[in-house]
């Protein structure tokens, strides 16, 4: 039972009544058009109206089950005495949307916020899960600030290959490397294509999707344990029903995001992120989400907590298990119990209870999936004590505003490295070069990609996991130091320095780097520098010319003009903050 508080509002106080309760021509027209759909007047009058924000699409396989789940949500709303209205919203299927879903995260946040503002909605169930849908929906809901609960899509089921657990995304990258050099033949490759993603649902690794749904749950915006329920599990439908039931209670209690989300709850979410060994993409989304609530979260906050909270989830890409295993082991509440000393357990949640109350009696199983902080997934060594942490934030003359790296998914020997830069101006140029058997590269070379940031990409695509050159793959090399102002899929791995800020396209120092320059990276010092004299850099600065941007109109042009840099969250300047936005006038 989640409804613990008594109603604090009457029906007359709900915002939907501005549309439906007035005895004037506007109220008449609103009620009239609802009845044109075959509804009885009493079906929607005198009830809380709940918006079911559904990001279903035929081109979003992660959300393919959302048609059915929306019906379960509606049943919960109706049985709790509310009236549900399903509202389709932009669906950001990570694999299909080009050039990148990241360019549309802010657009989804706008759509979510304005759907809730412009229509007679008292509370909302936010249906998402694929990478950018979670932060996009939550950003919109935080800005609108009416009662809202996030319903995660849930991960797909596990697959096996030659006795090995196979994770979406992570193993695609691994198998592709083997296929390109002939270790996997064509027939086997086609077979893997057909079976690696066995069901609907989000990636079954601790990629961006599961990282962000875990963050939503740790923030208190989802029901306890919801994020790990597999998409096709019968329990997932029951969870959707409970979301519908609970949101009605939240409306009566006026339990809106501003009463749930706080600096403390964001610190809880960051601690959970680190314990899970989550995706580096969260380092972009967290400042943006917090900014919508008027809370300042910086990348330095992330680095500080990463130093304290070890990775204890044995999940790909840092570990060796998958989300189905994680669910059976107790899911996020089991992790939170393990790191309770790093949490503010008094933080409020959508249940109407505190985080501590939600997790205190949560069952968990010790099967090697969720470890103890005293025995983390990856232990640091004398040579590299930072090897097992989930995130490190770097500074230096290559990234004065910051860059990030995920040590737990990197090669420890490369976390302190000096090497010669090989610089690529575009993703296309880089991909073509990787197949060149005569490429001037060895395993100590530092691969660098620029023009992959928020403006340069545009949209900061997931180009940061630069492939290993084919000639080195044949020699057995499987990791190298790689640097870019782009992002990396949360399912990927390797020693990749990402989110270099400010980006090269706006004249960040990465724009001044040349092939042959020496780069020094030291994880202990949190430093990333190009070993080029200041005088030489000043000369290059004077000669630098900004790349021509081909977008002269449309949403992409709007994005490039408004977007902030990676360390600030890539939100639009006009969307950030929690200043008041008036309710619409009704004429």
Q: How far is CA 569 from CA 55, 155, 244, 289, 454, in A?
A: 22, 25, 31, 8, 10
Apex 87 CA angle, 234 and 249, nearest 5: 65
- Could you tell me which of 367, 220, 215 has the C-alpha nearest to residue 305? 215
Apex 488 CA angle, 413 and 93, nearest 5: 150
Q: What is the pLDDT of residue 547?
A: 94
Compute the average pLDDT of residues 202-217. 96
> pLDDT tens for residues 451-467?
999 999 999 999 999 99
- Could you tell me which of 307, 305, 325 has the C-alpha nearest to residue 315? 325
Say yes or no to pLDDT of 1 above 50: no
Q: Rounded to whole angstroms, how far apart are CA atoms 2 and 319? A: 34
pTM for this one? 0.96
- Phi, psi dihedrals of residue 228, rounded to the nearest 5°: -100, -5
C-alpha torsion 325→276→65→50, nearest 10: 130
Say yes or no to pLDDT of 253 above 60: yes
Q: Could you tell me the end-to-end alpha-carbon distance of the chain, in angstroms, rounded to an integer?
A: 41
355 sits in which H/E element: helix 355-359
Apex 38 CA angle, 34 and 39, nearest 5: 55
Q: What is the pLDDT of residue 5?
A: 58
Q: What is the pLDDT of residue 380?
A: 87
Across all residues in the chain, what is the average pLDDT?
95
Say which range, 202-206, 320-324, 377-381, has the weakest mean pLDDT.
Answer: 377-381
- Count other Cβ atoms within 10 Å, centred on residue 557: 14
The residue with greater pLDDT, 193 or 351, is 351
Q: What is the pLDDT of residue 17?
A: 96
Percent of the chain with pLDDT over 70: 99
For 160-189, b/e burial (b = at least 16 CB within 10 A) is: eeeeebbbbbbbbbbbebeebeeebeeeee
> pLDDT tens for residues 469-516?
999 999 999 999 999 999 999 888 899 999 999 999 999 999 999 999
DSSP per-residue string spanning 502-562: S-GGGT-GGGG--TT-EEEEETTTTEEEE---HHHHHHHHHH--PPPP---SHHHHHHHHH
Say yes or no to pLDDT of 448 above 70: yes
> pLDDT tens for residues 552-564?
999 999 999 999 9
Q: Rounded to whole angstroms, how far apart are CA atoms 173 and 127? A: 29
Q: What is the pLDDT of residue 2?
A: 52
* Length of the chain as a residue count: 587
- Could you tell me which of 407, 388, 402 has the C-alpha nearest to residue 496? 407
> pLDDT tens for residues 85-119?
999 999 999 999 999 999 999 999 999 999 999 99
Q: What is the pLDDT of residue 315?
A: 94
392 sits in which H/E element: strand 392-394
């Amino acid at each position: 039972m989640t409804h613990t508080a008594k109603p604090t509002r009457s029906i007359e106080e709900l915002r939907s009544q501005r549309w439906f309760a007035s005895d004037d021509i506007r109220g008449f027209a609103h009620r009239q058009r609802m009845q044109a759909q075959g509804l009885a007047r009493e079906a929607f009058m005198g009830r809380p109206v709940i918006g079911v924000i559904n990001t279903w699409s035929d081109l979003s396989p992660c959300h393919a089950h959302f048609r059915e789940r929306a019906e379960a949500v509606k049943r919960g709303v109706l049985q709790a005495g509310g009236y549900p209205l399903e509202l389709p919203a932009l669906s950001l299927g990570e694999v299909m949307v080009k050039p990148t879903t990241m360019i549309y995260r802010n657009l989804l946040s706008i759509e979510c916020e304005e759907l809730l503002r412009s229509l007679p909605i008292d509370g909302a169930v936010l249906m998402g899960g694929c990478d950018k849908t979670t932060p996009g929906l939550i950003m919109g809901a935080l800005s609108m600030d009416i009662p809202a609960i996030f319903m995660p899509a849930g991960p797909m089921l596990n697959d096996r290959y030659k006795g090995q657990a196979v994770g979406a995304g992570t193993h695609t990258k691994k198998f592709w490397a083997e296929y390109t050099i002939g270790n996997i033949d064509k027939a086997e490759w086609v077979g893997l294509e057909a079976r690696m993603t066995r069901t609907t649902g989000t990636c079954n690794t601790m990629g961006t999707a599961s990282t962000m749904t875990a963050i939503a749950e740790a923030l208190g915006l989802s029901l306890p344990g919801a994020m790990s329920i597999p998409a096709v599990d019968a329990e997932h439908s029951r969870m959707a029903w409970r979301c519908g039931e609970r949101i009605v209670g939240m409306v009566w209690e006026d339990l809106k995001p501003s009463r749930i989300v706080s600096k403390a709850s964001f610190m809880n979410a960051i601690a959970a992120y680190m314990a899970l060994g989550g995706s580096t993409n969260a380092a972009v989304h967290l400042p943006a989400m917090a900014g919508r609530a008027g809370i300042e979260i910086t990348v330095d906050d992330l680095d500080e907590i990463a130093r304290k909270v070890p990775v204890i989830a044995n999940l790909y890409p840092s570990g060796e298990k998958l989300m189905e295993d994680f669910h059976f082991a107790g899911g996020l509440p089991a992790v939170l119990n393990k790191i309770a000393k790093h949490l503010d357990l008094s933080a409020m949640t959508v249940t109407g209870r505190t985080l501590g109350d939600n997790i205190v009696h949560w069952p968990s199983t010790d099967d090697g999936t969720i470890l103890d902080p005293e025995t983390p997934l990856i232990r640091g060594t004398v040579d590299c004590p930072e090897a097992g942490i989930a995130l490190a934030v770097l500074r230096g003359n290559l990234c004065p505003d910051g860059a990030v790296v995920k040590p737990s998914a990197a090669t420890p020997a490369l976390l302190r490295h000096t090497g010669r830069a090989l610089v690529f101006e575009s993703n296309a140029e880089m991909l073509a070069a990787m197949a060149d058997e005569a490429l001037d590269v060895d395993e100590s070379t530092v691969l660098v990609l620029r023009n992959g940031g928020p403006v340069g990409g545009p949209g900061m695509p997931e180009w940061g996991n630069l492939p290993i050159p084919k000639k080195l793959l044949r020699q057995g090399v499987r990791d190298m130091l790689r640097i870019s102002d782009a992002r990396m899929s949360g399912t990927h791995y390797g020693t990749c320095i990402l989110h270099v800020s400010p980006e090269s396209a706006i004249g960040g120092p990465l724009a001044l780097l040349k092939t042959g320059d020496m780069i020094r990276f030291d994880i202990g010092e949190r430093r990333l520098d190009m070993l080029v004299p200041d005088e030489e850099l000043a000369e290059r600065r004077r000669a630098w010319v900004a790349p021509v941007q081909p977008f002269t109109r449309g949403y992409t042009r709007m994005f490039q003009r408004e977007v902030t840099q990676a360390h600030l969250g890539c939100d639009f300047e006009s969307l950030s903050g929690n200043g008041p936005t008036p309710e619409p006038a009704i004429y």
